[in-house]
A and B are shown apart, each in its own frame.
Chain A
Amino acid sequence: MSTKEHLVITQASIDFPTPNGPYRALDKVNLKIAKGEFVSIIGHSGCGKSTVLNIVAGLYQATEGGIILDGKEVNEPGPERAVVFQNHSLLPWMSAYENVELAVKRVFKGKKSKAEMKEWIEHNLSLVHMDHAMDKRPDEISGGMKQRVGIARALAMEPQVLLLDEPFGALDALTRAHLQDSLMEIQKDLGNTVIMITHDVDEAVLLSDRIVMMTNGPAATVGEILDINLPRPRDRVAMSETPEYIRCRKAVLSFLYERHGKKIEEEPEVVEETVETAEEAATEAVEAEASNLVDIKKKVKTEAA
């Protein structure tokens, strides 16, 4: 089996029952993902990108077609396909440590000793820089920190595939940028296969090896796949000026807004759409600010010299 065949989605379609007969949410989605690859799935809200992820996670069953991971068909959820949920989904009655512990105990029971498990939990929390707040409960930490713990919980399962469902969607632009950097670092170190759902074009370009662009539902499917040929490690500020970055960004934007743009009258979630553009504007402003800072630093340095 070649490495190209790590995770294969073949002709995956899904129908949801409605009072007016079945509603085809996804139609014949095909995707092959190699080991260690970082793939983003992007599309308008309601296009079924989360549905794809849920099928891979095993939380939904494809009506037709299916998923093969390392030669085995995926039929049910399992810890080898760890999910980071959009709203962190930490158990509110457990501390950060206990939340990760629940996963570690489940996956490594009988394989690791108690001391090894403790070390492993602490290691994963320190990977996401949460080792200082291990004993805090979710209601005592910020949204970004909760999402970090969610990522630590997923990483601690040592998954073959890490599934991220709009992991940073609910966070402010600055926190999001921090977590994106953390995620890149972790992925560089661990080499996980990652599938990430996002609606943020910059996030997709910055993090991914490939971007899968989905058409609008009903019967959504893969519209186009874009290869991102940016060298790693990637620096968001330095990279934002390179022609490749600009090309990728433009390609995604033109797919989303020119060829598969949603007409406003069809859009049920206009508010969310505005929020997204507002968020994008905010991210851009932050990045502009960041590049300004870099310039100022350079000036200071040259002056000092």
Chain B
Amino acid sequence: MSERIDSASTTGMDWLLPKIKTMTVPLIGILIFLGIWQMGAPKIVTSLGAVPGPTQVFQQFVGLVDEHKEAREKEAAFIKRQEVRNAKKLEKDPNAVVKIRAYTGKATFFDQIWTSLLTVSAGFLIASLIAIPIGIIAGLSQTVYTAINPLIQVFKPVSPLAWLPIITMIVSAVYVSDSPMFEKSFVTSALTVMLCCLWPTMINTAVGVANISQDLQNVSKVLRLSWWTHVVKIVLPSAVPMIFTGLRLSFGIAWMVLIAAEMLAQNPGLGKFVWDEFQNGSSNSLGRIMVAVIVIGVLGYLLDRGMLTLQKYVSWDKSQALR
């Protein structure tokens, strides 16, 4: 090992070594994992056939991409047919009432991904908009904190899935309109996600705000800053790291909860895709579910990275090590 380093440094390549190391080590890990998977999977035979290995899963992924393209072509063709039909109708009678119908084909895997992302973002955003202000107020006032702390502690450990039936019932009772802006299933999923996002954000924001350095609070007192200026200029920047810790925790939980909620409630999204494939029970099902598992994981990772980038952008302390 040391010889290799020596020879590299003599050729002036020592800057490359750490880079190669950071690139190759994870790759080796992944390759070993894929190898074990490929060898082990065929040995487990289920009623739907043998468990697929990485190659089969990749084939399924390609299949899903093809399906998606096909569906898009069908949709384009449908819209074109409709346009032609409507144009003809108008040609005959300019006053004719033309109907424009939306394409109602089966949602593809990628449509489901999109639905899931949209739902999780909506729930997360609503939760953040509620939790951050409440967290700030609870962090500033010991009384408020003491008042809401028992509620937070009781609701925090409850799985949002336990709320799901209640939310479903409430949404179907309350959210009644002739031309709903959002679908009921979307509202139900988003609200379930919101419920699980509230607590980590709220607690971390409150703790972050409560732990602002005494010196900075004294500065604020000596300047007799107004409540608003105090919050905006001193409290928020100090608490940004803790707020983001809460947000990232929330987002991680939200993504997990969403998939489960979609499976349970048959709401559109990746969870429904997984459930449908499971019920479908074809020889492709296991492979397609595994594609979903990997995509869910990769998306969860990317979402967290996105939050990290946002944190780096918002945080004043650019030197802070974020991970």
Name which of A84-92, A177-185, A251-259 contacts chain B.
A84-92
Cβ of A141 under 8 Å from chain B: no
For A87, the chain B residues whose CB sits under 8 A away are 215
- Are B237 and A81 interface neighbours, CB within 8 A? no
Cβ of A9 under 8 Å from chain B: no
For B219, the chain A residues whose CB sits under 8 A away are 85, 89, 91
Considering the complex, which residues of chain A in the window 11-40 have a beta carbon less than 8 Å from any beta carbon of chain B?
A: none
A222 to chain B, nearest CB (A): 24
Mask, A74-94, CB within 8 Å of B = 1, is: 001111011101010101111
- Are B222 and A91 interface neighbours, CB within 8 A? no
A96 to chain B, nearest CB (A): 14
| Bound Cα distance from A46 to B94, whole angstroms | 94
With known contacts A87-B215, A102-B233, A92–B317 Cβ distance under 8 A: yes
Cβ of B4 under 8 Å from chain A: no
| Bound Cα distance from A58 to B218, whole angstroms | 10
For B233, the chain A residues whose CB sits under 8 A away are 91, 94, 102
| Bound Cα distance from A58 to B216, whole angstroms | 15
- Are B223 and A85 interface neighbours, CB within 8 A? no
- Are A83 and B237 interface neighbours, CB within 8 A? no
Mask, B218-262, CB within 8 Å of A = 1, is: 110111110001000110010000000000000000000000000
| Bound Cα distance from A148 to B286, whole angstroms | 68
Number of A residues with CB within 8 Å of any CB on chain B: 24
Cβ of B175 under 8 Å from chain A: no
> Closest chain A residue to B226 by CB distance?
A106
B237 to chain A, nearest CB (A): 4
Mask, A255-281, CB within 8 Å of B = 1, is: 000000000000000000000000000
- Are B316 and A93 interface neighbours, CB within 8 A? yes
> Closest chain B residue to A102 by CB distance?
B233
- Are B319 and A139 interface neighbours, CB within 8 A? yes
Cβ of A293 under 8 Å from chain B: no
For A79, the chain B residues whose CB sits under 8 A away are 222-224
Cβ of A42 under 8 Å from chain B: no
Cβ of A59 under 8 Å from chain B: yes
- Are A91 and B223 interface neighbours, CB within 8 A? no
- Are A106 and B224 interface neighbours, CB within 8 A? yes
Mask, A101-112, CB within 8 Å of B = 1, is: 011001100000
B253 to chain A, nearest CB (A): 29
| Bound Cα distance from A82 to B316, whole angstroms | 26
| Bound Cα distance from A34 to B233, whole angstroms | 36
| Bound Cα distance from A166 to B92, whole angstroms | 92
- Are B234 and A83 interface neighbours, CB within 8 A? no
Mask, B312-323, CB within 8 Å of A = 1, is: 000011010000
| Bound Cα distance from A15 to B223, whole angstroms | 26
Residues on A facing B (Cβ under 8 Å) = 57-59, 76-79, 81-83, 85, 87, 89, 91-94, 102-103, 106-107, 137, 139, 157
Residues on B facing A (Cβ under 8 Å) = 215-216, 218-219, 221-225, 229, 233-234, 237, 316-317, 319
Q: List 26 A-B contacts (CB under 8 A).
A: A59-B222, A76-B224, A77-B218, A77-B221, A77-B222, A77-B224, A78-B222, A78-B224, A79-B223, A79-B224, A81-B222, A85-B218, A89-B215, A89-B218, A91-B233, A91-B237, A92-B316, A93-B316, A94-B233, A102-B223, A102-B225, A103-B223, A106-B224, A106-B225, A137-B316, A139-B317
